[in-house]
């Protein structure tokens, strides 16, 4: 039997739900004048300071600077920034309230459509979402949407907390969620508010999933994540941690004990290079390197609690945001030489430009058009060097990017104390044994109806990286919104559609 969880019944809210503030119509502003305003950004730690600490690179806006930046929003009637947001944040409405000095109202606009605005403001690739579609950005710098979103929501937490959410009377229905990352959090809040019992299972010792374990402190402080988890507990959501579904509790047991199951464990299995000696001492998967480098031992499972060895030099393979997290972590761990190996040019890198800029500023050496060919070990079998070859770009491949082709006779070695592999993530292979009745695609991702996030198994839903592969926090949250509506319908119908 699944253990009874203390505090899992949702408590009715003592007060009525906070009603969303009535939004004004799009105001008639002088758009030409606003387009002439200079951009305002929050202060940023200089590289020589921030490489010696784990604090966030950017400080929060101060209130007056935030209002000045919000005034740059020209209040487009069509709001292309909102259209480009996967969860549909009404950005102009928030910024109109912000420029009037109504910080709580501005924060509440974001909270109407997002359970994680503090995190999305920091972690979304705004340059290809909201800010990439900002009309102001067509003639200059776009409005700093992400940093303003972070400011107003963090300001609200620091100055009285967001309005309490209503919890409906208990329905007697229940949902098990596997994974406490962004998708799990989004579903947990919406289903708990409806009066259903929600229990979240997670293999890690601390709740938060990717937000706690996958994001370094210099990008997202852990206090915001912990606060979000505590607010869920306040809604009656229970967390069963350090518990792996398929080992500590059977998937079929969750199906029997709960009226519905939502799978949101994430894509956490690192992609391998396929070279010999990837298991040698001194070779790290990105997740292991990040969690051992960023988190205290008590937050980690027993097998990961040993501190990382002292590293004078580190080489990281990859080209996305995780590789930037790894190189910047290596710098803060005291490595004197940190190199990134990437087989294409910087223009083809898929991570955030801001993160690459920070890595450049912090002294990381980028080895572009370079591909690994062998992992070299010493007489004791420990990593000693990465053999590489230079590449040139050929015709586009299936991704649309130019295919890297090897240059004959261009091999060379990069000696280092450690090698970190940050070339992507897959959904864990083990799901085929844990939940064999649930259909998956050839890449191991759960097959769902995107309109409902339902799997082929009655009462089983999935979303986030388990469906999309490694993706964004905000796309996982968008999946959660679809799934929560579908789960609510399933529970309300008594498990019969």
Per DSSP, which regions of 370-492 are E strands?
370-377, 383-396, 402-406, 412-415, 418-421, 425-426, 460-462
- Homologous superfamily (CATH) of 31-158 is Alpha-helical ferredoxin (1.10.1060.10)
- Note whether 208 and 45 are within 8 A (CB): no
Show me where the domains of the chain are located: 31-158, 174-268+426-492, 272-423
Are 174-268+426-492 and 272-423 equal in CATH topology? yes
**Mind listing the pLDDT tens digit for each residue in 228-282?**
999 999 999 999 999 999 999 999 999 999 999 999 999 999 999 999 999 999 9
Residue 288 in tokens = 């292991």
* 3-state SS, residue 388: strand
**HSE of 214 in the Cβ direction (CA atoms, 13 Å)?**
26
**Residue 68: partners with Cβ closer than 8 Å, 6 or more residues away:** 37, 40
**Mind listing the pLDDT tens digit for each residue in 366-409?**
999 999 999 999 999 999 999 999 999 999 888 788 899 999 99
Instruction: Supply the pTM of this predicted model.
Output: 0.92
**Class of 272-423 per CATH?**
alpha beta
- Note whether 199 and 238 are within 8 A (CB): yes
**Mind listing the pLDDT tens digit for each residue in 115-154?**
999 999 999 999 999 999 999 999 899 999 999 999 999 9
**HSE of 296 in the Cβ direction (CA atoms, 13 Å)?**
3
- Note whether 243 and 229 are within 8 A (CB): no
Q: In the CATH scheme, what is the code of domain 174-268+426-492?
A: 3.50.50.60
DSSP states of 8-66 as a string? -SPPPPSSPPPPPPPPPPPP---HHHHHTSPP----B--HHHHTTS-S-SBPPPPHHHH
Rounded Cα gap, residues 394 and 312, in angstroms: 36
Q: What count of residues does the chain have? A: 497
Phi, psi for 307 (deg, rounded to 5):
-65, 150
Mean pLDDT of the chain: 93
Q: Is the pLDDT of residue 16 over 90?
A: no
**Residue 382: partners with Cβ closer than 8 Å, 6 or more residues away:** 280, 281, 282
């Amino acid at each position: 039997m699944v253990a009874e969880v203390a505090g899992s019944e949702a408590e009715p809210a003592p007060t009525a739900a906070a009603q969303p503030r009535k939004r004004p119509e799009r105001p008639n502003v002088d758009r030409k004048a606003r387009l002439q305003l200079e951009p305002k950004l929050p202060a940023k730690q200089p590289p020589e300071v921030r490489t010696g600490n784990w604090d966030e690179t950017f400080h929060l806006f101060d209130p007056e600077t935030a209002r000045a930046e919000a005034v740059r929003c020209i209040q487009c009637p069509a709001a292309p920034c909102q259209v480009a947001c996967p969860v549909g944040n009404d950005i102009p409405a928030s910024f109109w309230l912000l420029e009037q000095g109504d910080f709580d109202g501005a924060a509440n606009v974001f909270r109407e459509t997002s359970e994680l605005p503090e995190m999305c403001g920091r972690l979304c690739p705004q340059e290809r979402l909201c800010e990439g579609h900002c009309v102001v950005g067509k003639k200059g710098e776009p409005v700093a949407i992400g940093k303003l979103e972070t400011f107003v929501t963090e300001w609200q937490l620091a100055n009285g907390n967001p309005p309490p959410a209503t919890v409906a009377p208990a329905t007697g229905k229940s949902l098990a969620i596997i994974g406490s990352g962004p998708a799990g959090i989004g579903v947990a809040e919406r289903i708990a508010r409806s009066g259903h019992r929600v229990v979240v299972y997670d293999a890690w010792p601390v709740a938060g999933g990717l937000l706690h374990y996958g994001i370094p402190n210099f990008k997202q402080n852990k206090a915001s994540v912990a606060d979000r988890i505590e607010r869920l507990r306040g809604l009656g959501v229970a967390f069963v941690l350090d518990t792996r579904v398929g080992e500590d509790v059977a998937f079929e047991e969750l199906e029997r004990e709960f009226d519905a199951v939502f799978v949101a464990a994430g894509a956490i299995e690192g992609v391998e290079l396929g070279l010999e000696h990837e298991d040698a001492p001194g070779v790290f998967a990105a997740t292991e390197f990040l969690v051992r480098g960023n988190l205290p031992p008590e937050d980690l499972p027993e097998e990961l609690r040993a501190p990382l060895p002292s590293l004078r030099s580190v080489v990281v393979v990859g080209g996305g945001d995780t590789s930037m997290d790894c190189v910047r972590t290596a710098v803060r761990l005291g490595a004197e030489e940190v190199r990134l190996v990437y087989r294409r040019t910087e223009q083809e890198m898929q991570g955030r430009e801001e993160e690459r800029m920070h890595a450049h500023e912090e002294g990381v050496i980028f080895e572009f058009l370079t591909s690994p060919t062998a992992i070299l070990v010493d007489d004791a079998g420990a990593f000693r060097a990465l053999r590489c070859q230079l590449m040139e770009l050929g015709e586009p491949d299936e991704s649309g990017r130019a295919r890297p082709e090897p240059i004959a006779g261009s091999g060379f070695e990069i000696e280092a104390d450690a090698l970190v592999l940050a070339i992507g993530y897959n959904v864990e292979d083990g799901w085929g044994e844990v939940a064999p009745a649930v259909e998956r695609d050839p890449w191991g991702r759960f097959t769902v109806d995107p309109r409902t996030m339902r799997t082929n198994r009655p009462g089983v839903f999935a979303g986030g990286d388990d469906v999309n592969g490694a993706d964004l926090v905000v796309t996982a949250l968008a999946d959660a919104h679809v799934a929560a509506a579908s789960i609510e319908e399933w529970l309300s119908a008594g498990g019969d559609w």
